[in-house]
Amino acid sequence: MLCIIIVSKANNSLAITFERIFEMEENDKKNSRIFYLTLAVVLTVVAIIVIAITVARRNVPSGITGGGSGSVITEDSGDQSTGLEDKNKLPSFALPIESCQLDVDFSDTVLVFSQTMGDYRTHMGIDLSCELGQEVMAVADGVIKNIWNDPFMGTCISIEHTGNAISYYKNLDPVVKEGIVIGASVSQGDVIGAVGESAMNEISQDPHLHLELKVNDKQVDPKDHIKLPTPQVKPEDQNKEN
């Protein structure tokens, strides 16, 4: 009988011990949940503060530094907008060769007679007559976009300018000026090559430079952007008039 009582008390003690252990585990779980919930709230608040500061900084003009009455507006605050305007603005174009005369005009709608081909066709540029081997210059600042040999128009060079403009120089001498390579920067007036006789489509004409101009991917009349010299009256023509 005494053994039964002792065993019963031992079982009760074990049961109480296990209950306390379970209670402690439950409390630990509750405390852990509270800790992680608090940590999540703190991290969320910190993230919101960081985002707010970042947005506020982006809205402050780049040319303003400091704060309050001590704020200073720097001179380069408009550099970015000016740069974008410059890229979209057409440059001032100049003649690509000196002492030249207009030989064949631009004609994108009316067909003109081709001396070489013996037919009528459009002429998407202007032909500037000059001396064979005369230096050809860039009409404006830009970057060499391409250098190639066309089976009909001979040795060609294209230069990309601001304002989404591209100038094309055709019927050049096959020997390109040293340093003129794709990607090279050139300034207005820089020599890029010389007038040649490489254009098979225009071989019957006198020595000339075939010049084309594109703006916004549209072929335009170079004369609308480049002032040509006043045509000189030949002595024989003047005598005829008199």
Domain boundaries, the chain: 1-64, 88-226
**Rounded to an integer, what is the distance from CA 20 to the centroid of its chain?**
74
Q: Tell whether pTM > 0.95.
A: no
88-226 to CATH, choices 1.10.490.10, 2.10.109.10, 2.70.70.10, 1.10.760.10: 2.70.70.10
- With beta carbons less than 8 A apart as the criterion, state whether 176 and 186 touch: no
Partners of 156 in the beta sheet? Answer: 148
Predicted confidence at residue 53, as pLDDT, reads: 80
pLDDT band at residue 183 under the 50/70/90 scheme: very high
pLDDT at residue 133 in the model: 96
- 24 or 186, greater pLDDT: 186
CA dihedral 166, 145, 212, 196 (to 10 degrees): 160
CA 85 to chain CA mean position, Å? 13
> Which region among 5-19, 162-176, 178-192 has the lowest average model confidence (pLDDT)?
5-19
Q: How far apart are the first and last CA of the chain?
A: 157
Q: Is the dihedral of CA 139, 142, 147, 151 positive or negative?
A: negative
Measured between alpha carbons, how far is residue 218 from residues 92, 124, 167 in Å?
Answer: 18, 11, 12
Q: What is the pLDDT of residue 128?
A: 97
